[in-house]
Amino acid sequence: MSKLFDTQALGKPRRHVRSATGYFPETDATGKEKWPRGDEETWKAGLRSVDADVNDITKSIVHHIQTSLARQAYNIDNLGAYQATALAAREDLIINWNQTQMTYTRKQPKRAYYLSLEFLMGRTLDNALLNLGLKEKFETGLDKLGFTLEDVLDSERDAALGNGGLGRLAACYVDSGATCEIPLWGYGLRYHYGMFQQLIAPDGSQLEAPDPWLDNSNPWEIPRLDVTADVRFGGHAEKLDKGRGIWSGGQEVLAVAYDCPIPGSDTKSTNNIRFWSARPRRGFDLQSFNAGDYDRAVETSNSAANITNVLYPNDNHYAGKSLRLQQQYFWCAASLSDIMRRFKNTGQPISEFPNHVVIQLNDTHPTLAIPELMRILVDEEEVPWDDAWQIVTRTFAFTNHTVLPEALEKWPVSLFQQLLPRHLQIIYDLNWTFLQSVERKFPGDVDKMARMSLIEEGHGQQIRMANLAVLGSFKVNGVAELHSELVRTTILKDFVDFFGVDKFRNVTNGITPRRWLDQCNPALSNLITETLGSRAWLKDLYLLKGLLEHESDPTFQKKWAAAKANNKERLAKYIKNTLGVTVDSKAMFDIQVKRIHEYKRQSLNILGVIHRYLTIKAMSPEERTKVTPRVVLFAGKAAPGYWMAKLIIRLIVNVGKVINADPDAKGILTVLFLPDYSVSLAELLIPASDISEHISTAGTEASGTSNMKFCLNGGLLLGTVDGANIEIAEEVGEENVFFFGHLTPAVEELRYQHRYHPMPVEKKSPALAAVLEDIMSGRYGDASIWEPFVNTIRQGDYYLISDDFDSYLQAQKMVDEAYTKDPQQWIKKSIQTTAKMGKFSSDRAIMTYAEEIWNIETLKIN
Ligand SMILES: *Cc1c(COP(=O)(O)O)cnc(C)c1O
């Protein structure tokens, strides 16, 4: 037996083991805790009270203006006021954070770690003040100092360390973890540049500018310059006996921790996201420096810091860049070294690791954590190979986020050989044993073995990260019922046959109602609280059902409609200020905001808009007065290398220009593309929607989360039978959603038809053919610009635009009629929708992870 499996050898928990997150208190002979340092009373008196009144708050803000910013009443502006306010609020967060981490260290609960390469946080101040219950006091305090809270909140930059849904999900989950009092930490990367800023050129093209979000400094992060990890790249790996190896040489990069406190709502429980930043290990390469090669010396230092320079802007698309693999390993290695250090501080034998630690892999991005933990256990801790694999496979759980083939990560073996030679050996060894067991279970099924192998053969071998993630995890989940079913029956079917279906689960995504209703929609939130008599619904979203009692009350309906009108006016004001365009806030607001992607089919929406425009053009002035006025809003970023997505943006912008300038459409149709979609823009748009569009080709959208945000805010849903749309309809009632389009089982057959028995669009959908013809007429700019787009529909039509177009128009017609014919019924639908969205709280999702996957308990912080 290895000495590391020997409890006796490791003995009892060490005393006074200091780490950045706490220490073990020393006890005297009677078991009473000893104060660790200096005079206890002096220490305790030094802690600021957390139940501050307005006076304490203004004092704290003024104190920070004067001593942190070195400014005064004479020269303080909104940005400065924001910074001082953030520093004041942060004190409360940190006091709770300390208490929480101290409790974890003392009680040693099992902890969950959420590894996510993206955290799309948005702004923090408003959320922090609400969660601390201090918003009103800060508002009053700022008012006394001559600022409005609104201006101050608006001065904060978004932390956009994510692309879209996956990154926002991670942010919602840490919020829920803290609120539900679960010992949950996030681990991520501290990118110097977050998601690019999107600019729209006069011709409608997307331009990208860097996002230097740290330029004004970030008051929400606590640098932990003493919490570091060495991360090796390159060098060579040597194999010893019994699966062990030695990895040496290459280049070492230093990971430095930055902590970001995550407050729960109405609880002291305050969790953490630890973001790693890369630093060169030794400032300079001294050898090159001494040789007089200054440029080269600095180059080494640049290349190390480069690792955390920038977030990759691809959503649902794998690009295979070497620096991206370096980011992934850097982050996994630093996080595991940190987790291992914390575990060892408990004094438990290593065999206890999976009883104290569970690691959730957010997509395949952190899959390298699996071979890395193997490497630590086998090479460094000298745990026998099979025992180590037992530990690993009881530690990890994996969330799959997509079935799109272009999104599945596969790294060239040659790249591993160069950067991670030891991990490559470990993966080969794991694969060898694994394929033998596949052969035993399915003798002679060589195709199955080829499909399940961790290595894809072909022109240059590639490592299949999803296969590795499944092999190394004890549970695998999809993110909505339909998606989890597709995972089980398509991309991971072989693995279900091999491991049994029990390993494969569903956890439908969720959103935090704190940010996505209370914070972004005060008008509706206040009405709900007033109606239900308390704010308890924010922590038990099913309580929204109580609104159903009032659905037919005309006074309540009026107030409900007034809240929506208020949010539409707020958005109209923003549009006026930013684009200089006046929109009629009485019109129906029809919103589609999400990453621009062919599978999400913004194309279907804009083609439908053109159809609407042509219909209006063909009407008499008299007929036009009967049209339901619409404002159609788009927003979203295209990956900089995704040419077709950028062309779709360009089409939307140019179609908008023509329609918005046409007197025939005036007052009845406005089409706008709002640049630079972000969490903060989402917070403004979502409460203002009457209808929102979630119209992906069936079977392509894993879950979607903005569908949940819109419905929670009383916007109705127009969508395909896909992702979480299905479960939303189950909850709110199919009579309250507008569904259209082909279903998932039909998709494969339709694609087959397109390939082998294509039918001209003219025959399939004359309406669509007319729209395509209109585009090619030059009305929206030269036909040659749009030809490649039109061709994707005429030839192949992989996303089934032509198959779903007529059905989409039909659904839009029903939306128009429902909105115009019976406005009161529409309001009732809106109330019912919000009232029945309880299931989609991320609190429900995170508790499902805690209970069904992590086997972890909540821990109250006093
Ligand atoms: C919620 C959210 C998303 C995800 O939107 P989907 O429509 O589910 O793809 C993307 N970006 C931002 C800023 C979000 O808040």
**Ligand 1 binding pocket mutation candidate from 123, 512, 593, 840 (most atoms within 8 A of CB):** 593
For residue 553, what are its two tokens?
A: 């009350």
Q: Which of 227, 147, 355, 262 is nearest to 846 (CA)?
A: 262
Cα(705) to centroid of ligand 1, in Å?
Answer: 6
pLDDT of res. 24: 59
Q: Taking 90 as the threshold, does the pLDDT of residue 30 lie above it?
A: no
Angle at 572 between CA 823 and CA 511, to 5 degrees: 75
Q: Taking 80 as the threshold, does the pLDDT of residue 146 lie above it?
A: yes
Angle at 385 between CA 384 and CA 390, to 5 degrees: 100
Q: Taking 80 as the threshold, does the pLDDT of residue 824 lie above it?
A: yes
User: Does some domain include residue 432?
Assistant: no
- pLDDT tens-digit readout, 410-469: 999 999 999 999 999 999 999 999 999 999 999 999 999 999 999 999 989 999 999 999
Q: Taking 50 as the threshold, does the pLDDT of residue 3 lie above it?
A: no
The residues annotated with a catalytic role in the active site are: 401, 594-595, 600, 705, 709
Specify whether the CB–CB gap between 127 and 172 falls below 8 A: no
Q: What is the DSSP string of 769-831?
A: HHHHHHHHTTTTS-HHHHHHHHHHHHTT-TT-HHHHHHHHHHHHHHHHHHHHH-HHHHHHHHH
- pLDDT tens-digit readout, 230-242: 999 999 999 999 9
User: Does some domain include residue 438?
Assistant: no
Q: Which atom of ligand 1 is nearest to the CA of 708?
A: 8
Cβ-Cβ contacts under 8 Å for 777 (sequence gap 6 or more): 783
Hey, how many other C-beta atoms are within 10 angstroms of the C-beta on 183? 26
Intra-chain end-to-end CA distance of the chain, in Å: 42
What's the chain's average pLDDT?
Answer: 94
Q: Which atom of ligand 1 is nearest to the CA of 677?
A: 13
CA distance readout (Å), 688 to 141, 295, 554 = 30, 54, 21
For residue 273, what are its two tokens?
A: 């996201």
Helices H / strands E in the chain, number of each:
36, 24
Q: What is the pLDDT confidence band of residue 130, given thresholds at 50, 70 and 90? A: very high
Mean pLDDT score, 158-169: 98
Cα(207) to centroid of ligand 1, in Å?
Answer: 20
| Residue 276: exposure state from Cβ atoms within 10 A (0-12, 13-18, ≥19) | buried
Q: Taking 90 as the threshold, does the pLDDT of residue 212 lie above it?
A: yes
Q: Which of 399, 401, 403, 408 is nearest to 317 (CA)?
A: 408
User: Does some domain include residue 173?
Assistant: yes
Cβ-Cβ contacts under 8 Å for 86 (sequence gap 6 or more): 124, 125, 156, 219, 220
The answer to whether residues 170 and 142 belong to one domain is no
Angle at 365 between CA 359 and CA 368, to 5 degrees: 65
User: Does some domain include residue 439?
Assistant: no
Cα(708) to centroid of ligand 1, in Å?
Answer: 10
Residue for token digits 């019976």? 822
Q: What is the pLDDT confidence band of residue 40, given thresholds at 50, 70 and 90? A: confident
- pLDDT tens-digit readout, 735-759: 999 999 999 999 999 999 999 999 9
Cβ-Cβ contacts under 8 Å for 133 (sequence gap 6 or more): 266
**Protein residue with its CA nearest to atom 15 in ligand 1:** 679
Q: Which helix (H) or strand (E) holds 41?
A: helix 40-45
**Protein residue with its CA nearest to atom 8 in ligand 1:** 704
Q: What span, in angstroms and rounded, lies between the C-alpha atoms of 45 and 734?
A: 59
- pLDDT tens-digit readout, 545-583: 999 999 999 999 999 999 999 999 999 999 999 999 999
The answer to whether residues 235 and 98 belong to one domain is no
Q: Taking 70 as the threshold, does the pLDDT of residue 626 lie above it?
A: yes
**Ligand 1 binding pocket mutation candidate from 479, 676, 705 (most atoms within 8 A of CB):** 705
What angle do helix axes 78-107 and 125-132 make, rounded to 10 degrees?
Answer: 50
Return the minimum-mean-pLDDT range out of 283-287, 337-341, 361-365. 283-287
The answer to whether residues 85 and 163 belong to one domain is no
Q: Taking 50 as the threshold, does the pLDDT of residue 8 lie above it?
A: no
State which residues form the domain around 195.
111-123+158-406+472-509+847-854
- pLDDT tens-digit readout, 60-80: 999 999 999 999 999 999 999
Q: Taking 70 as the threshold, does the pLDDT of residue 167 lie above it?
A: yes
Q: What span, in angstroms and rounded, lies between the C-alpha atoms of 366 and 119?
A: 14
Cα(319) to centroid of ligand 1, in Å?
Answer: 21
The answer to whether residues 500 and 528 belong to one domain is no
Q: What span, in angstroms and rounded, lies between the C-alpha atoms of 674 and 581?
A: 11
Hey, how many other C-beta atoms are within 10 angstroms of the C-beta on 576? 12
Q: What is the pLDDT confidence band of residue 182, given thresholds at 50, 70 and 90? A: very high
pLDDT of res. 49: 65
Q: Where are the alpha helices (DSSP H) in 394-462?
A: 413-419, 421-441, 446-452
pLDDT of res. 54: 94
Specify whether the CB–CB gap between 118 and 44 falls below 8 A: no
| Residue 418: exposure state from Cβ atoms within 10 A (0-12, 13-18, ≥19) | middle
Q: Percent of the chain at pLDDT above 70?
A: 95
Q: Which atom of ligand 1 is nearest to the CA of 681?
A: 13
The torsion of the CA quartet 34, 39, 44, 46, rounded to 10 degrees, works out to -150
Binding-site residues, ligand 1, Cβ < 6 A: 164-165, 168, 594-595, 677-679, 682, 704-706, 709
Q: What span, in angstroms and rounded, lies between the C-alpha atoms of 138 and 55?
A: 10
Cα(168) to centroid of ligand 1, in Å?
Answer: 7
Q: Taking 60 as the threshold, does the pLDDT of residue 152 lie above it?
A: yes
Contacts for 531-538: CB closer than 8 Å, 24+ residues apart? 531/556, 535/266, 537/513, 538/265, 538/266, 538/513, 538/514
Residue for token digits 């028995």? 757
Q: What span, in angstroms and rounded, lies between the C-alpha atoms of 305 and 213?
A: 17
CATH number of the domain encompassing residue 265: 3.40.50.2000
Rama region for 752: left / alpha / beta (φ>0; ψ in -120 to 50; rest) = alpha
The answer to whether residues 671 and 820 belong to one domain is yes
User: Does some domain include residue 456?
Assistant: no
**Protein residue with its CA nearest to atom 2 in ligand 1:** 165
**Protein residue with its CA nearest to atom 4 in ligand 1:** 165
Cα(713) to centroid of ligand 1, in Å?
Answer: 15
The answer to whether residues 818 and 717 belong to one domain is yes
Mean pLDDT score, 30-51: 79
The answer to whether residues 727 and 605 belong to one domain is yes
Cα(163) to centroid of ligand 1, in Å?
Answer: 9
User: Does some domain include residue 758?
Assistant: yes
User: Does some domain include residue 836?
Assistant: yes
Three-class SS of residue 181? coil
pLDDT of res. 14: 36
Cα(299) to centroid of ligand 1, in Å?
Answer: 38
- pLDDT tens-digit readout, 759-782: 999 999 999 999 999 999 999 999
Rama region for 31: left / alpha / beta (φ>0; ψ in -120 to 50; rest) = left
Three-class SS of residue 189? strand
Specify whether the CB–CB gap between 121 and 171 falls below 8 A: yes
Give the β-pairing of 357-362 and 245-248.
unpaired
Cα(165) to centroid of ligand 1, in Å?
Answer: 5
pLDDT of res. 17: 36
pLDDT of res. 23: 52
pTM for this structure?
0.95
Q: Taking 50 as the threshold, does the pLDDT of residue 208 lie above it?
A: yes
Hey, how many other C-beta atoms are within 10 angstroms of the C-beta on 68? 14
Cα(263) to centroid of ligand 1, in Å?
Answer: 22
Return the minimum-mean-pLDDT range out of 25-29, 365-369, 630-634, 663-667. 25-29
The answer to whether residues 142 and 185 belong to one domain is no
Q: Which atom of ligand 1 is nearest to the CA of 678?
A: 13
Cβ-Cβ contacts under 8 Å for 116 (sequence gap 6 or more): 166, 167, 170, 186, 187, 188, 362, 363, 365, 366
For residue 283, what are its two tokens?
A: 């400032």
Mean pLDDT score, 233-253: 96
Q: Taking 70 as the threshold, does the pLDDT of residue 528 lie above it?
A: yes
| Residue 611: exposure state from Cβ atoms within 10 A (0-12, 13-18, ≥19) | buried
The answer to whether residues 143 and 117 belong to one domain is no
CA distance readout (Å), 762 to 247, 777, 787 = 63, 16, 17
Task: Give me the number of domains the chain comprises.
Answer: 3
Q: What span, in angstroms and rounded, lies between the C-alpha atoms of 228 and 255?
A: 5
Q: Taking 50 as the threshold, does the pLDDT of residue 323 lie above it?
A: yes
The answer to whether residues 499 and 545 belong to one domain is no
pLDDT of res. 13: 37
Mean pLDDT score, 396-403: 98
Mean pLDDT score, 614-636: 98
Q: What span, in angstroms and rounded, lies between the C-alpha atoms of 714 and 523?
A: 12
The answer to whether residues 180 and 39 belong to one domain is no
User: Does some domain include residue 495?
Assistant: yes
**Ligand 1 binding pocket mutation candidate from 118, 120, 127, 158 (most atoms within 8 A of CB):** 120
Specify whether the CB–CB gap between 472 and 370 falls below 8 A: yes
**Protein residue with its CA nearest to atom 10 in ligand 1:** 164
**Ligand 1 binding pocket mutation candidate from 127, 594, 686 (most atoms within 8 A of CB):** 594
For residue 271, what are its two tokens?
A: 């969790």
pLDDT of res. 47: 74
pLDDT of res. 5: 34
pLDDT of res. 293: 72
Hey, how many other C-beta atoms are within 10 angstroms of the C-beta on 333? 25
Specify whether the CB–CB gap between 584 and 633 falls below 8 A: no
pLDDT of res. 283: 55
Q: Taking 80 as the threshold, does the pLDDT of residue 298 lie above it?
A: no
pLDDT of res. 114: 98
**Protein residue with its CA nearest to atom 11 in ligand 1:** 164
Cα(798) to centroid of ligand 1, in Å?
Answer: 23
The answer to whether residues 167 and 152 belong to one domain is no
Q: What span, in angstroms and rounded, lies between the C-alpha atoms of 305 and 280?
A: 6
Cα(637) to centroid of ligand 1, in Å?
Answer: 11
Cα(126) to centroid of ligand 1, in Å?
Answer: 20
Query: How is the chain split among helix, strand and coil, in percent rounded to 5?
Result: 50, 15, 30
Q: What span, in angstroms and rounded, lies between the C-alpha atoms of 722 and 739?
A: 10
